[in-house]
Structure 1
Amino acid sequence: MVCAPSAGAAAFGGWVSAGAGRSAVTLTNGKRLIFGSPVCGGPRRMDPTHRRREKQMNRIAVLGVGRVGSAIARAALAVGYEVNVAASGPAEEIALLAEIVIPGARARDAADAVADADVIVLAIPLHKYRTLDPELFASRIVVDAMNYWEPVDGELAEFRDAALGSSEVVARHLGTARVVKTLNHIGYHDLEENARPTGSQAGSPAGAPARRALAVAGDDRAAVEAAMALIDRLGFDPVDAGPLRNGAALEPGTAIFTGVLTRDAVAEALGSALTV
């Protein structure tokens, strides 16, 4: 059963290190996930009033204009975001692609794309993460939508052998960036087909059976709230999965990655698919 965190836990975002009165869960691959107290543990759902409390964020930058990046950009445009897109080269190299595939998005160089963005989404092949300049992302909200695919990325020991989740590896490279893991466990085609934005013709209210849920993991609470607001606005139910280390439960091969789940089902999968 999932319930609200205790008052003490809520004061620290609801997530603290495992210890007295806390619980740790271990994935079958050895990676550990930390939850709140066993009495009131588990992932938190988004506070429905958070959008009234938090600054409205209207501009996102998507780095990567492949199928995933393009789908995220189109989905964001469809719900009113201003969208900058960038690739590894000059803006001129993707200008025509953006005009045809992502109409309404602004093609920019990477540095210009992220400069005025409220949220930055990484949708590049994961093996290229070391090409990202940490200075561009210093103290910025960064959504990691990437996954480790060995046939595409090659054999990378830092992802294959490490006890860390892939987003933790990325976060260490990016330094002070406020990294959040989400949007990695939904197919690019589903981003548009499954979206149920509130107020749209196909819209559904939060928690409705027709609304698919996506988990969000991160260490910075304000960044997690911003990412959850993005997920909600895109038309999905966000579920707070706790700290970034818990992003391992969203990676390829997990129940959350392979399933099409509602909010309650994601919350349940964060616990039931794990080995204590």
Structure 2
Amino acid sequence: MIAVLGAGHVGPVLARLALAGGYRVGIAGSGDPARIELIAQVLAPGAEARWAADAITEADLVVLAFPLHRFAAFAQRHGGALSGRLVVDAMNYWPPVDGVLDLPASGSSELVQRALPEAVVVKTFNHLGYHQLDENGDPDRLALGVAGNDPAAVNAVSEVVGRMGFDPVPLFPLSAGRLLEPGGPVFGAALRRADFTEAISEAISTKA
């Protein structure tokens, strides 16, 4: 099962795409699943509204799709349950929303990995807006960067991304996920693979 944690704009879209890819999906908000039951029924029919703890327990893959400023409290409460789990960071840092956070220069995924040292963290789904994700699955096959330290984890998440209708582009290491975040060369850009890889390569060569 894929657990999508977050029932705002992005979470239901990811849940719906995962269902279309043939996955069983649990979706959780910040509290009682009864509060998001209607959201699940309307925006991601077939997704199971769950308590976050229950969704994590059953999941093979956990997607973090809530505002970054909520992550610290989430990690404190659920960090132990994520030990050994494959965790996707789909979050972005938005100072007007999140306030001032102690964010590593290498991006939000490094913060997530630091707080969840026993989890395997991969960055993806964050550089396209929810409307772009919703409108551009197959046959458009837009590129989605998939950044991580562990090749097996990146491959596993890339398979999910592919089944959800996108063209996964593996990036290493996890800190390469910074290229996918606000201010990065592909953030907000709906690109196919060739243009995506060119933009990433140019950004890396410019920094070198």
Following TM superposition, the consecutive aligned residue runs of length 4 or more in structure 1 with deviations greater than 3 angstroms are none
> Contact (CA 8 Å) 1:241, 1:270: kept in 2 or not?
no
The AA in structure 2 aligned to 1:166 is S
1:52-81: CA deviations, max 9, x gaps? xxxxxxx21000000101111111112221
User: What 5-or-longer segments of structure 1 have no aligned partner?
Assistant: 1-58, 197-202, 204-209
Match of 1:144 among 89, 92, 95: 89
- Please state which structure has a larger fraction of its residues in helix: 2
1:115-147: CA deviations, max 9, x gaps? 121111100100011122211211101110000
Are 1:177 and 2:119 matched, yes or no? yes
Match for residue 262 of structure 1?
A: 192
Match for residue 44 of structure 2?
A: 102
Structure 1 counterpart SS, 2:92: coil
Matches within 5 A, 1:215-254: 215-254=145-184
Structure 2: distance between partners of 1:193 and 1:258: 14
Structure 2 counterpart SS, 1:147: coil
> Contact (CA 8 Å) 2:132, 2:190: kept in 1 or not?
no
What is the total number of aligned residue pairs between the two structures? 203
Structure 2: distance between partners of 1:140 and 1:176: 8
Structure 2 counterpart SS, 1:61: strand
Are 1:163 and 2:92 matched, yes or no? no
> Contact (CA 8 Å) 2:144, 2:167: kept in 1 or not?
yes
> Contact (CA 8 Å) 2:107, 2:175: kept in 1 or not?
yes
Matches within 5 A, 1:191-230: 191-196=133-138, 203=139, 210-230=140-160
Structure 2: distance between partners of 1:246 and 1:263: 17
> Contact (CA 8 Å) 2:13, 2:43: kept in 1 or not?
no
Identity %: 51
Larger Rg, first or second structure (1 or 2): 1
> Contact (CA 8 Å) 1:181, 1:216: kept in 2 or not?
yes
Match for residue 126 of structure 1?
A: 68
Task: Tell which has more relative contact order, 1 or 2 (C-alpha 8 A, sep 6+).
Answer: 1
Structure 1: distance between partners of 2:93 and 2:33: 26
The AA in structure 2 aligned to 1:149 is W
> Contact (CA 8 Å) 2:129, 2:188: kept in 1 or not?
no
Structure 2: distance between partners of 1:233 and 1:64: 21
Match for residue 75 of structure 1?
A: 17
Structure 2: distance between partners of 1:103 and 1:77: 9
Q: Which moved more, 1:187-196 or 1:258-267?
A: 258-267
Match for residue 24 of structure 1?
A: none
User: What 5-or-longer segments of structure 2 have no aligned partner?
Assistant: none
Q: Which moved more, 1:113-122 or 1:63-72?
A: 113-122
Are 1:135 and 2:80 matched, yes or no? yes
